[in-house]
Structures are given as C-alpha cells and as structure tokens.
Amino acid sequence: MRPKNNFYLLKELLKLCEISVSNKVDNTVKVVSAADLEKSKKNYISAFFNPKYIDLLKKTKASIIIMNKKFLKYLPKGKIPLLSEYPEIDFAKVLNFFYPNSYFSKIDYESLSIDKIKEKYKKINFGLNFYVEKNVSIGKNVFIGNNVTIKKDCIIGNNVIIGCNVVIENSIIHDDVHICDGSIIGKKGFGFKFLNNKCVRIPHFGKVIINKGCEIGANCVIDRGSVRNTVIGENTFMDNFVQIAHNVVIGKKCILASQVGIAGSTFIGDNVVIGGQAGISGHLVIGNNVKIGGKSGVIKNIADGQMVMGYPATSFKEFVKKNK
Amino acid sequence: MRPKNNFYLLKELLKLCEISVSNKVDNTVKVVSAADLEKSKKNYISAFFNPKYIDLLKKTKASIIIMNKKFLKYLPKGKIPLLSEYPEIDFAKVLNFFYPNSYFSKIDYESLSIDKIKEKYKKINFGLNFYVEKNVSIGKNVFIGNNVTIKKDCIIGNNVIIGCNVVIENSIIHDDVHICDGSIIGKKGFGFKFLNNKCVRIPHFGKVIINKGCEIGANCVIDRGSVRNTVIGENTFMDNFVQIAHNVVIGKKCILASQVGIAGSTFIGDNVVIGGQAGISGHLVIGNNVKIGGKSGVIKNIADGQMVMGYPATSFKEFVKKNK
Amino acid sequence: MRPKNNFYLLKELLKLCEISVSNKVDNTVKVVSAADLEKSKKNYISAFFNPKYIDLLKKTKASIIIMNKKFLKYLPKGKIPLLSEYPEIDFAKVLNFFYPNSYFSKIDYESLSIDKIKEKYKKINFGLNFYVEKNVSIGKNVFIGNNVTIKKDCIIGNNVIIGCNVVIENSIIHDDVHICDGSIIGKKGFGFKFLNNKCVRIPHFGKVIINKGCEIGANCVIDRGSVRNTVIGENTFMDNFVQIAHNVVIGKKCILASQVGIAGSTFIGDNVVIGGQAGISGHLVIGNNVKIGGKSGVIKNIADGQMVMGYPATSFKEFVKKNK
C-alpha cells in the first residue's frame, strides 16, 4: 500500500505491520518504501539476514535495517537498526504491506471477454482461447498458440513466438524470443517462512526479463524475482523442463540442457553451458565460459572458464580421475 | 462392479476375473469386495506379494488372500489362500472387476456445457474456459484460473486458489490450499504388469488428499493412490516440478524443493525438508524432522531427525568426509 | 523449398543457401534434396561431422558431403566433398532451404473454427476447446480431453486416449496408446548453432512415432527428430516428467520411471527398465534387457542384459562395492 502522505512514521508502520522491535529507536523517522539492500534509497526500510551479502549492507542507502543483534557490528554508521529475532519474517511483513497481492496472483476476472481482447489486439495472431489482461503491450509479427494466458502489465516484443498452453505474468519478453508449449513464465517464487505455525509468504514483486533472441523449451518454469528481477540474458537457449528460481540472473548465450534446475538468487555469467539434469544451489556465482557436466550438483562458486562435473561438482579432471 | 446380491461366490468371481488358482479351496465362500491388506474387512479378497508388508498380512481382516506358495508359512490361520504364480496380476484383475474404469479416466462428455456449470456454481470465480464434472463441491472464496479441469466427485475447500491449466481429479483439496499453474493432481499412478505380452493395468481408485494450507508449485504431478490414498499433510509446501507417485503419504509442514521425486508408497514424516532434485525410492519410511540434501538419492529408511545427503544418501557428516 | 525442375545445380544451391566452400568442385552437379547419411539417395546432399557415424559415411548413397577437411581421408570414392569449417551449420542452412518452417511451428490460424472441426470429426469424443489442424487422421473409439491441440498431418490410431492440455504435432500415434495430461508430443528438438553471434537453428522435420500400446505419463515431452524420427517401441510405458530428446529410438516393452531424461540420438533396446531421475547421454547405444538404476547417469554404451547404477553408471556390483 502506498502511503497517503508519501511516507509513514516508523512507529505507524511497525504497528500496521504488527512488528515488535527489541531495541529503542527514533520512532518518528519517515519511511517511504521498502526494498532490498541494493535497491533501497534514503528513508527506505530494508533487511539483512544472509552474511553472504555483507558488502551490500555496507553500501546500502536504506535508512532502516531489520536485522539480528549478532550482525549489529557490521552495520554502517547512521543507519537505524530494528533488532528482530526473525528479520526475514519481519521484512516480509513490511514488503507485503507495501506490495499487497504480490504472492499468488489470481487472474483478472474482468478480462474474460475474448471479443474485447480481439478488438484491442487486432494485429496479433492469437490461437484458440486467448486471454490477455489490461495494460499488456504486444509488438509486431507475434504468433501466439492456443490456450495462452498473458497477465497484466506484461510487455511482449516483436517477432516473439509463443507456443500453446503458456502462462506469462509479471514479465518483459524482448524481441525474437521463442517460448515453447506448456511453459510458465513469471509466477511467484518459492518463498515463505513459518513462525509459530503461521505461514508468512515472502512477496514477489520482481519481474522475469527475457532478453532478445532467447529460446525457452517446453514445460519450463521461470519464477519471477522477490525484491529484484529474474533475468535471462540475450540469446540464451533452454531445453525442456528447465527450472529457474526467483532472482536468478543468467548471462548471454548460455545453453541449459533439459531438466536443469537453478536455485534462487544464483548469478550465471555469459557463454555458460549446463548439461542435462544438472542442479545449481542458490546464492552462488558462476563465472563466464563455464562448462558444467550433465547431472552435476554445483554447491560452490565457479571461476571463469572452469569445466566441472560431479556431485558435488569438482574440476572435470578430478571427476575423471575419481571415476576411472 | 458391485455384486447384485451384495456378494459373489468365490467360484463365480474367479470365473468372471479369469483367474485360475493352483490349490483347492472352498469355492462357495462369499466375497463382498476387494481391498489392500490394511483396509480389507471380513469376506474381502486381498493379496500379499511384497515381504515388506508381512505385519499387515498378520493383522489383515481379509478372508481370502491371493499369494505365492512360498509365503504360505506367514499366512495367519483361518484365512483362505489363493495360490498364484502372479499374485499381483491376479489381484489387479479382481480390483479391476470391482472398480472398473479406475485406470485412465476419460472426461465426462456430458459436462461440456459452460453455461450449465456457470449456473450451478454461481459464486465461484472461474477463469476462461472452465470445466467441472458432476458431484463436485467447491467452497467459498475460491479463485480458479483459465483452462482448469475438475473431474467428478472432487471436493475443493474454502479459500483455495488454483492457477491456470490445472487438472484435478479424484481429489479432496482442503481449505487454504494454493495450486500453481500447470499442475496435474489425482491422475492414475504408474502401475501395470505384463503377462505373456498382455498388459494388466493396476487400478487406481484411491484419492489425492491435500490437507489445509498446502502449496503446490507449477507443473507438479501428484498421482492418486491405487488401493489407498496419496496424502499431503497440512502446511506442506512444494516447489515446481515435484513428482509425487501413488500411495505416497507426506506429513505436516514439509518443504519439497523443485524437481524432487518421491516414488510409490513411501511415507514421509512431519517437518521434513527435501532439497532440489532429490529422489526417494518407493516403499520407504522417512522419519520426522529429517533433512535431505539437494540431489540426494535415498534408497533406505531414515530415522527421525537425521540429516542425509549423497547418492546413495548417507549421513551428512559422511558425505562431507567422502568429498573433501 | 522443392526445386522447380526437380533439381538445383550445386552452384545455384550454394548461392541460395549463402554457403561458401573452400575447395573446387564440379558446380554443375544436380542436387535433388538433402538428408542425413542414412536416408540420402543419389544426388542428395548430406554432411559428416560426428566421427561416431563413420560407418554411415562409408555406406551413404548421398552424392555430395559437407565436411571438414580433416575427415577427408574417410570419404568413399566417387563422392563430392564440400569442405567447410562449420559443416553442421552449412548443412543446417541446406536443410532449412529444403525444409523451410521446420523449426518452431506456429499453429495454423485457419483451423480455429471449433464448429468446422466438430463437423469434420463427428465421431470423435472431443473435450472442451479442441483444435485440430488440416490433414489429421483420427481412428475409431478415440477419447480426447479438454484443451488439446493436434497440429497438421498427425495420424492418431484406434482406441487412443489423450488427456487434457496435451499438444501433439508431427506425430504418428498408433492404436491403444494412452497419453496423460499436460504432455507435449512432437515439438522441435533442442538444436541450434551460433556463428559470429548469428544463430542458425537446426531444422526438425522428423516425426515422433509412438507405437501400439504405449503409455505416456503426465507432463512429459517427446521431441520430434531433426533429420530422422523419434521412435517409441510397442508397449513401452513412461511415467510422468519424462524427457525424450530428438532422434531417440526406444525399443519395445521398456519402462521409464518418472523424471528420466534421454538425450538426443540415443538408441535403447527392448525390455529396458530405467529407474526414476536417471539420465542417459546423447548418441549412445543401450542394449536389450538392460536395467538402469534410479538416478544413474549413463555416459557410455551398455551391452545387452547389463544392470548398471551410479553417476557415472557402472555395473550394479561395482556400485554396491563402492558404496558400502
């Protein structure tokens, strides 16, 4: 919810979000919005709970940080800490407050008239039974298959081809992208926390951005980001059944074979080739020109140009030595 | 098929099912139905072919047991054995007789009128192109996406949200469940036997029961049980591409990451966390509070509270030691 | 594109395809079509770039072979070599010329009238929202679920049952086949090459042939072949989420458990059993009666009757020894 005066007093916000803080702070500071450490600006509220992102904490412009007491030593001067036993849950509450309805998105029941959609998008080649919500932009020379759902605010570029039974929401699809049958693009990611048997769902108001020339196989799923975007770089090709979790960023000209899974918030460089059924853990950084063998399980960062294989993945040399 | 007089004579039944038995038995005993060892009652016919379930054989109330001669020593007194070289196939024949059409379920071609469905379920928020068969109950405040199929006899609770392109059959979905786009809930399991080039399909007349508060990701498949139900416990969350085979029972507040697969008839306790791409063999028992690392291959039972990883999965400690 | 005079002069063809060749050849030879080494006939153009297929090179009837200089020693006498640094890309150009529109197939926007389809296929049991393109043949006693798309030139045999949300193109489905909900049959395979930032897509004009009595689970994907067919043998059963890449040939009575992936151009014999989540690399030959344990990663050929497990897969004995 957007504040009426363009800001809330911190004490108002904490009350509205049902958050209790264990330290005394200046309750009259203004809060204008909430975001992750990287995107936050002055008078934003953010949170710190994963020590991997300590560099972002040091550089953040957020004024208020929800965090655990044990990390207080890393907090830069001038920031207001909100000490919490469950900073992730409290941050989710704040985000859900500023971005309501950003978890499971229902369809827009007012967009159900095929005739109106046809009238509006006269030049688009729709298949049988199309559904497009409000505020969707579709480029030239676009071909859409049967039973396709495109939800509000999506942007579809020129020369895009979309197969049958595809669902697209919260996404920007650039020119020359092909999306095969049965793929789900832009649904909310897998994020929630339980506290005393109550489930707090992590909001997902990021987008999926698929850059120019990409190809997405059949029955793939690409989740949208929570507080930032999920991004697929130009000319990256994915085979069938690929799973891309929230916040993943993939570079240009990567090749992902079938049944690959990439867990949340992992960065992948350019020209990376990933063999079938390989899995990559969350919050990792995979360099440029990396080759990952089929069925590998990657649980560490990989430097540029490396070739790895195995579970857990090691250098290809070591894998061969181990298994001869 | 239900018997006319509420029972068949055993000799009638064997003839109707085309089963020949290698031992002499009292052919005039009454048979009222067929079920697994656990659910059978007096005058039921059941079968025993997996030595793992010897305890169930000892406690069964079934009167007649199809079985192989080699297991005869385990049969409790007072039961009638039907000795068979292929007890699983013969049992499938009996089940198919009592539960015809319980394998691949066609849609009900008489339910195709959208206008009639709209009339009947006035208060439900349907998307484009909905299909609901007879005898379906849908609760309050339910949101259904586009191109959703709900087959006969399903029960959908209150506050349920169903995405687009979802197919639901033979299922009970309790309150507050979310099912994301493209998931298939309640289809028949993967069960058949070949005998002399003839395929006998194992009937699937169990249900899928998804308890309160669960979340099912996109493009998941949960197969219904064969002779009992597939059950997902309260507040269990699944990411995308999760495969749950027939007869699996999962406890409360479990977390299954993307691309996890659980083979048939496995039991999983409460608070179990399963990492992405992990697989669990069939007919296993996984205790409460177990953690299974990503990509693990579990082929043995796991006791409460254990943390395992690897292929085959071992204790986490051992996995780390082996791979350093 | 079919040649006007039933042939092109080689020099015309090379110009039309924008191919430059590094050796001097008789530019006036006639070219009638292009195909792989096995299917090519006299005056066909083919290509050789994978040393695995040297035997096919020796036996090919193609008159003209696109190839790299280093393989020239294997070329049988009487053949015309077209020396190329990127033979796969140049061959793709030729194939795309002879078979335009053989990559991503849009739906036929002229087939959108449900009334016309109903009129034409009076006896077929269609679900809600069916779509059938021109030149499709459908047998007797066929049951089709909701939201099914069948594209041009498909043949569907008798007694076939197709679930909901299934997409079928470029396929021949023989009698008694069952295809469960959400499966995608016959889409183009995962084939492309980058040259100087330009993507050349490998055409896919092969078919998917599913022989008599097969069962395909839910949310599976079977890609059609590029230059030859993807074939599933009689009475082969697949569970959910199975990925079959282009050009794969599977024998009779095989059983593929859930989440199995088979990479391109691999041959699998009869009676092969593949456990859940196993993966098989491309261009391999798996013999008859082979058993592959769950989650195995197969990267070598397997002889008849072997039982393997592990990643990389070894004999079952060795797997057990290694892991005790």
Tokens of residue B71, six digits: 């297991």
Tokens of residue C161, six digits: 């049952």
- Chain C window 36-65: which residues touch B at a Cβ cutoff of 8 Å? none
Kindly report the number of other CB atoms within 10 A of residue B113's CB atom.
12
AA identity, residue B320 = V
How far is the C-alpha of A173 from the C-alpha of A213, rounded, in Å? Answer: 10
Angle (CA) A274 A50 B293, round 5°:
50
How far is the C-alpha of B201 from the C-alpha of B13, rounded, in Å? Answer: 19
**Measured between beta carbons, which residues in chain A are less than 8 angstroms from residue C109?**
125, 127
The CA distance from A105 to the nearest CA of chain C, in Å, is 21
From edge to edge, which strands make up the β-sheet containing C149-150? C131-132, C149-150, C167-168, C184-187, C221-223, C243-244, C261-262, C279-280, C297-298
Q: Are C150 and A148 in contact (CB under 8 A)?
A: no
List beta partners, residue B231. Answer: B209, B249
The average pLDDT across A82-95 equals: 95
- What length is written for chain A? 324
Which residues, other chains included, contact A249 with Cβ-Cβ below 8 Å and sequence gap of 6+?
A: A229, A230, A231, A233, A266, A267, A268
How far is the C-alpha of C136 from the C-alpha of C147, rounded, in Å? Answer: 17
DSSP assignment of B4-69, as one string? TTS-EEHHHHHHHTT---SS---TT-EE-EE--TTT--TTEEEEE--GGGHHHHHH---SEEEE-G
**Measured between beta carbons, which residues in chain C are less than 8 angstroms from residue B109?**
125, 127
Residue C81: asked if its preceding bond is cis (omega within 30°), the reply is no
Rg of chain A in Å (alpha carbons): 22
- Chain A window 273-312: which residues touch C at a Cβ cutoff of 8 Å? 276-277, 294-295, 310-311
* Residue B5: per-residue pLDDT: 73
Name the percent of chain B lying above pLDDT 90: 85
Using the 8-state DSSP alphabet, how is residue A70 labeled?
G
Return the number of CB contacts < 8 Å for B and C.
Answer: 117
How far is the C-alpha of C274 from the C-alpha of C92, rounded, in Å? Answer: 33
Torsion of CA A311, A313, A317, A319, to 10 degrees: 0
pLDDT for B119 beyond 70: yes
* pLDDT band at residue B114 using 50, 70 and 90 as cut-offs: confident
Rg of chain B in Å (alpha carbons): 22
Kindly report the number of other CB atoms within 10 A of residue C198's CB atom.
10
* Residue A248: per-residue pLDDT: 98
* pLDDT band at residue A249 using 50, 70 and 90 as cut-offs: very high
AA identity, residue C11 = K
User: Which domains does chain A possess?
Assistant: 8-98 (3.40.1390.10), 114-322 (2.160.10.10)
Tokens of residue A161, six digits: 């081809």
Nearest-CA neighbor of C223 among C266, C277, C269, C187? C187
Q: Are C48 and C87 in contact (CB under 8 A)?
A: yes
pLDDT for A36 beyond 90: yes
Q: How far is CA A272 from CA A232, A233, A244, C20, C243, in A?
A: 12, 11, 15, 30, 22
Q: Which segment of A71-85, B145-159, B195-209, C152-166 scores lowest on mean pLDDT?
A: B195-209
* Residue A4: per-residue pLDDT: 66
Q: Chain-centre distance of CA C314, in angstroms?
A: 28
C105 touches chain A (CB under 8 A): no
* pLDDT band at residue B101 using 50, 70 and 90 as cut-offs: confident
Name the percent of chain C lying above pLDDT 70: 99
* pLDDT band at residue C6 using 50, 70 and 90 as cut-offs: confident
pLDDT for C235 beyond 80: yes
* pLDDT band at residue B3 using 50, 70 and 90 as cut-offs: low
* Residue A309: per-residue pLDDT: 97
* Residue B4: per-residue pLDDT: 66
Q: How far is CA B72 from CA B57, B63, B78, C60, in A?
A: 11, 14, 12, 62
Active site residue B246: yes
Helix, strand, coil % over all residues of chain A, rounded to 5: 15, 30, 55
H or E element, residue C223: strand C221-223
A125–C147 CB contact, under 8 Å:
no
b/e burial code for range B162-189 (CB count within 10 A of at least 16 → b) = bbbbbbbbbbbbbbbbbbbbbbbbbbbb
Q: Are C186 and C204 in contact (CB under 8 A)?
A: no
B213–A199 CB contact, under 8 Å:
yes
Q: Is the dihedral of CA C73, C76, C78, C80 positive or negative?
A: negative
The average pLDDT across C74-83 equals: 96
Q: Chain-centre distance of CA C114, in angstroms?
A: 30
Q: What is the ipTM of this complex?
A: 0.94
**Measured between beta carbons, which residues in chain C are less than 8 angstroms from residue B182?**
165, 182, 219
pLDDT for C17 beyond 80: yes
How far is the C-alpha of C183 from the C-alpha of C174, rounded, in Å? Answer: 16
Give this prediction's pTM: 0.95
C128 touches chain A (CB under 8 A): no
CB nearest A167 (choices: B165, B277, B323):
B165
The average pLDDT across C53-71 equals: 96
A279–B294 CB contact, under 8 Å:
yes
Alpha helices by DSSP H, listed for C231-312, are: none
**Mean pLDDT, rounded, of chain A:** 94
Which residues, other chains included, contact A290 with Cβ-Cβ below 8 Å and sequence gap of 6+?
A: A268, A269, A272, A273, A302, A304, A305, A306, A307, A308
Tokens of residue A38, six digits: 């990287």
Chains near C (3 or more Cβ pairs under 8 Å) = A, B
- Chain A window 205-244: which residues touch C at a Cβ cutoff of 8 Å? 213, 215, 217-219, 235, 237, 239-241
Q: Is the dihedral of CA B46, B50, B54, B55 positive or negative?
A: negative
Name the percent of chain B lying above pLDDT 70: 99
How far is the C-alpha of A92 from the C-alpha of A97, rounded, in Å? Answer: 8
Q: Are B245 and B229 in contact (CB under 8 A)?
A: no
Q: Phi first, then psi: what are they for B161, rounded to 5°?
A: -120, 125
**Measured between beta carbons, which residues in chain C are less than 8 angstroms from residue B224?**
none
* Residue A202: per-residue pLDDT: 92
* Residue C118: per-residue pLDDT: 86
pLDDT for B213 beyond 80: yes
Nearest-CA neighbor of A311 among C316, B254, B314? B314
The average pLDDT across B101-113 equals: 85
Strands A243-244 and A44-48 turn out to be unpaired
* pLDDT band at residue B128 using 50, 70 and 90 as cut-offs: very high
* Residue C40: per-residue pLDDT: 96
* pLDDT band at residue A2 using 50, 70 and 90 as cut-offs: low
How far is the C-alpha of B149 from the C-alpha of C164, rounded, in Å? Answer: 8
Using the 8-state DSSP alphabet, how is residue B258 labeled?
T
Q: What is the pLDDT of residues A222-242, one digit of tens each?
A: 999 998 999 999 999 999 999
Q: What is the pLDDT of residues A279-298, one digit of tens each?
A: 999 999 999 999 999 999 99
Tokens of residue C241, six digits: 């989420």
* pLDDT band at residue C114 using 50, 70 and 90 as cut-offs: confident
* Residue B264: per-residue pLDDT: 97
Residue C203: asked if its preceding bond is cis (omega within 30°), the reply is no
Give which of B311, B315, B318, B319 to mutate to test C binding, by max C Cβ within 10 Å: B311
pLDDT higher for C113 or A210? A210
Which residues, other chains included, contact A61 with Cβ-Cβ below 8 Å and sequence gap of 6+?
A: A40, A41, A42, A44
pLDDT for A101 beyond 90: no
Q: What is the pLDDT of residues B258-309, one digit of tens each?
A: 999 999 999 999 999 999 999 999 999 999 999 999 999 999 999 999 999 9
pLDDT for C2 beyond 80: no
AA identity, residue B158 = N
* Residue A104: per-residue pLDDT: 86
Nearest-CA neighbor of C59 among C91, C87, C36? C36
pLDDT for B116 beyond 90: no
A129–B147 CB contact, under 8 Å:
yes
B149–C164 CB contact, under 8 Å:
yes
The average pLDDT across C129-133 equals: 93
Nearest-CA neighbor of B81 among B53, B48, B59? B48
Q: What is the pLDDT of residues C175-211, one digit of tens each?
A: 999 999 999 999 999 999 888 778 889 999 999 999 9
Tokens of residue C39, six digits: 């299917």
Nearest-CA neighbor of C287 among C300, C263, C270, C274? C270
AA identity, residue B212 = K
Q: Phi first, then psi: what are they for C234, rounded to 5°?
A: -50, 140
Q: What is the pLDDT of residues A197-227, one digit of tens each?
A: 788 899 999 999 999 999 999 999 999 999 8
